[in-house]
Amino acid sequence: MLITHDTRCALDAVVDLVNTAPEDETADGLADVPSLADFVRRNDISDVGVLSEHDLAAVRSVRSRFAGVFAAEDPRVAASLINELVAAAGTTPRLTDHDGYDWHVHYFAPGASVADHLAADCGMALAFFVVAGEQERLRRCEAPDCRRAFVDLSRNRSRRYCDSRTCGNRLHVAAYRARRKEAAG
């Protein structure tokens, strides 16, 4: 599956967005307008203007619908959620080259809110996975104490953890120690 630079950026942004949602007792990664501004800077989202409480509420709403896409086991459910997001954003595909990037497609209308920007661009990035029959690549970490979202871009669709250096390594070390303890007996 060919993933262009702009699609990869949108995938990174949607994963980051979904992962800002509070899990259990963790803090909301989009607790206030400054944290939304940090998210926008971190993901290099252009053309968003001055952010407000209204933007924060709208982005949180979009975030919860994207979380539903990652939770959907049926492609029809994922497609329906993506269709709703993209339609509500009022997509207006247009070619652009900015900030040193070659030509790419923006799906949001000029002057769109940050929520519509995310719904359109990230929704289309996820749509490409559903269309390609690759929805199972939209995953949640399998570590018992972590449910972070990620997109499995491995060649053989075998990635199980959001980060192999943290969650994956932690579980492998725990399994090793359990085997050693059992062997010592």
Given a cut of 80, whether residue 13 has pLDDT beyond it is yes
Position 34 scores a pLDDT of 97
| Beta pairing partners, 149 | 140
Give the DSSP letter string of 24-90.
Answer: TTSPPTT-SHHHHHHHHHHTT--S--S--HHHHHHHHHHHHHHHHHHH--SHHHHHHHHHHHHHHHT
How confident is the model over 81-89, as a mean pLDDT? Answer: 94
Per-residue pLDDT averaged across 59-88, rounded? 95
- pLDDT tier at 167 (50, 70, 90 boundaries)? confident
2 vs 62 pLDDT, higher one: 62
For 33, counting Cβ atoms within 10 Å of its Cβ (0-12 exposed, 13-18 middle, 19+ buried), the class is middle
Which pLDDT band, with edges at 50, 70 and 90, does 40 fall under? very high
pLDDT recorded at residue 102: 83
pLDDT at 176 over 70: no
Which tokens go with 178?
């359990």
Distance of CA 52 to the CA centre of its chain: 22
Mean pLDDT of all residues in 164-185: 70
Question: At 26, is the pLDDT very low, low, confident or very high (cuts 50, 70, 90)?
Answer: confident
How sure is the predictor about 128, in pLDDT bands with cuts at 50, 70 and 90? very high
Q: 78: Cβ–Cβ under 8 A, 6 or more apart, which residues?
A: 69, 72, 126, 130, 135, 138
Range from 5-9, 80-84, 133-137 carrying the lowest mean pLDDT: 5-9
